[in-house]
Structure 1
């Protein structure tokens, strides 16, 4: 059975696909969106949003302790209930999914709750066997978590699983050193688990500025996370009481659960892309030009499925650029020169622009750095330090990068990214009146390069 023609069929209901579908439909195009799971994708359903809720939850353990320094006396020892947190999270995710669905409907998008694959350049096959004829196809299927290539890897949890565990793991091993690994290390440590984080390399957050890597490792260790860098996992063994991780050199760690957070792979398997003529790279990512068009003129792709930087706001921007290009007739690229990002580790990170190493490779630089204990931690007695760093071109004093680690870093970097993106110079920051007392004032008070 072949249904009536569409102008666009989107495969994947995550952030990039939803934005593209809505914008295309608002131009009067006939649009369908096929999603086999839940509308909202990884970020809303099983990623950024529930993760941030759990970050908030885990932070209360320190807040209860710090409150005593500010004169509060808690009547009894706080008790954490994992089940209540999971239930509250589910209610919020259900609410957000409903909003996504309602917005698609209001825009005129037909949502199809089925798996879809590419039959040919102008037809999409649904799981029930029906075919959708369409002028354009947009692949927005995102990425999936990867497992370590070791015996016993099937016993690992992935990030999709960890939000809804039936039992809270008292002993948790996390494999990896990227966003997901360090964020969940902080979450489960804050909620009361014994957390070890193992990584085969020497540093956390491989692509980040070296000072951020070192500072975060120090602060996570202070908070009780057992960091095991340069630790090569060899195999995982299931036991009667949990799991046993075996590392090179003979080290063994027994835990209740292991979370694999070693990376994500483009979700392209079984979509029929190669048969339709779409080119994939060695990692399985869809190859596109700068306007998100594949070598098949009618097939496009946006988001994590094309590789590169895996960030929800970037996927949204790409989805919008695709819609403007194809359905509004305005050829639109996505600018990445000053890409801000946050890691909701504990303490959290905000960063934008070039690292010190990247800047030095381009020319002479000046480095401005401040490391201090924020006022919030003084009465609470916590020895948590904040790091702020500016990377500045020596020749023209342009701020090339800003790197923050500490309370409120994500909020600060959003505003600072505007200045960096506009080409601000160090003197522009120096002219700004400091907001006192605040941590952010250090960004305009660093007067001498280190």
Structure 2
């Protein structure tokens, strides 16, 4: 954790330095909106009032907690506190099988912890590609991660030497530590949003339109506090769109089906565009090709046996409308499919583009090539 926190601090310093080079003044403190053009900032030196023509809110979110599983920062942890641990948990119980829970389960399993993942659903990553989730579950089983499906954690309590999690059926799971990953809550309370005329959704997120503008015309919002998509890339794009719109530049609202995302498990799971479930439901008419990495020469050289490339093409036209990559560096490989989705490329455009041999990206062009026969 020391290395990880050090990297985070270095990244923060690099961003701060870049802002200062562009004459951006940074105030360290807590802010509150007084009205649509005024912010009250409490700093270590006192209170300062800042006037602004426009305001961009990027206040983030904090971990959601269960009333029967209150974190103590030592044995019962949320996804922010776990970075403060001084030693590796011997037996880690992870409550929640969404993206955050799966990522931490995979990471601590890789570090050597004995991991139990408690999932209230039929499988891990219930909102993700089914084939991708199946691959991850197979890897978990092979690497010794214990997955308890359709099991709901009712309480988490601390014991003399660890924790005990009581499930809905009355059974108990014991471990040295418990990590609770059950979502997040936007940091929108107590910062003067109502006074400034900024409306919230029922979940407490800031309401924004396609250009990240709130219900107050000169106030914009970006990131997890908007509830659009909890991704750093989306937050950054929201911020760019907001500032460009304020400055009068032409902007294009974010199209969520063009957003690439990645789940940082081992193997990684990356996706973009429409999902296979949406095709099967009839929402989109498309053809699907799934190509295992087992047939990829570079994957064989690197002894990577888990994963696949999947591409979705619109039926009739052959336009690439989505894709999934599961495997090493999937977060990098998905970029090629993202470009195809954004630029509405035909599968033949992807298939006829040269790739290095041997390379993992070769499976992307091969999958596109196989879709040609479906035209």
Q: TM-score, normalised by structure 2?
A: 0.89
1:136 is aligned to 2:54: yes
1:152 is aligned to 2:80: no
| Aligned counterparts of 1:369 and 1:319: Cα–Cα separation in 2 | 35
Q: How does 1:182-261 map to 2 (within 5 A)?
A: 182-261=102-181
TM-aligned CA distance change 1:407 to 1:117, over 3 Å: same
User: Retained in 2: the 8 A contact 1:317–1:334?
Assistant: no
Q: Which residue of 2 aligns with 1:358?
A: 278
| Aligned counterparts of 1:305 and 1:138: Cα–Cα separation in 2 | 12
User: Helix, strand or coil: the match of 1:157?
Assistant: strand
Q: Which residue of 2 aligns with 1:28?
A: none
Q: Which residue of 2 aligns with 1:88?
A: 3
1:275 is aligned to 2:195: yes
Number of aligned residues: 362
Q: Which residue of 1 aligns with 2:364?
A: 443
Q: Alpha-carbon deviation of 1:192?
A: 0.5
TM-aligned CA distance change 1:263 to 1:111, over 3 Å: same
| Aligned counterparts of 1:224 and 1:236: Cα–Cα separation in 2 | 23
1:109 is aligned to 2:24: yes
| Aligned counterparts of 1:401 and 1:416: Cα–Cα separation in 2 | 7
User: Helix, strand or coil: the match of 1:388?
Assistant: strand
| Aligned counterparts of 2:37 and 2:301: Cα–Cα separation in 1 | 65
Bigger shift: 437-446 or 272-281?
437-446
Out of 293, 296, 299, the position equivalent to 2:216 is 296
RCO higher in structure (CA 8 A, sep ≥6): 1
Residue by residue over 1:317-368, the C-alpha shift from the partner in whole angstroms, topping out at 9 and shown as x without a partner, is: 1111111111x21142333241111111110112111111113423432211
Q: Alpha-carbon deviation of 1:291?
A: 2.2
* Unpaired stretches in structure 1, ≥5 consecutive residues: 1-85
1:416 is aligned to 2:333: no
User: Helix, strand or coil: the match of 2:292?
Assistant: strand
TM-aligned CA distance change 1:257 to 1:364, over 3 Å: same
| Aligned counterparts of 2:302 and 2:345: Cα–Cα separation in 1 | 36
Q: Alpha-carbon deviation of 1:377?
A: 6.7
User: Retained in 2: the 8 A contact 1:267–1:305?
Assistant: yes
1:430 is aligned to 2:345: no
User: Retained in 2: the 8 A contact 1:338–1:421?
Assistant: yes
Q: Alpha-carbon deviation of 1:167?
A: 2.4
Runs of 4+ in 1 over 3 A off after TM superposition: 374-382, 432-435
User: Retained in 1: the 8 A contact 2:210–2:254?
Assistant: no
TM-aligned CA distance change 1:397 to 1:256, over 3 Å: same
User: Retained in 1: the 8 A contact 2:91–2:113?
Assistant: yes
Q: Which residue of 2 aligns with 1:4?
A: none
Q: Alpha-carbon deviation of 1:405?
A: 0.7
Residue by residue over 1:137-187, the C-alpha shift from the partner in whole angstroms, topping out at 9 and shown as x without a partner, is: 221101111123x41333431221122212221111112222221111111
Q: Which residue of 2 aligns with 1:121?
A: 36
Out of 310, 332, 339, the position equivalent to 1:389 is 310
Q: TM-score, normalised by structure 1?
A: 0.75
User: Retained in 2: the 8 A contact 1:291–1:331?
Assistant: no
Out of 364, 367, 370, the position equivalent to 2:288 is 367
Q: Alpha-carbon deviation of 1:284?
A: 0.5
User: Retained in 1: the 8 A contact 2:212–2:221?
Assistant: yes
Residue by residue over 1:164-220, the C-alpha shift from the partner in whole angstroms, topping out at 9 and shown as x without a partner, is: 212221111112222221111111101110011112112322332222222222222
User: Helix, strand or coil: the match of 1:92?
Assistant: helix
Residue by residue over 1:401-449, the C-alpha shift from the partner in whole angstroms, topping out at 9 and shown as x without a partner, is: 1111111211111122112211122222332345332332222223268
Q: How does 1:305-316 map to 2 (within 5 A)?
A: 305-316=225-236
Bigger shift: 432-441 or 153-162?
432-441
User: Retained in 1: the 8 A contact 2:293–2:363?
Assistant: no
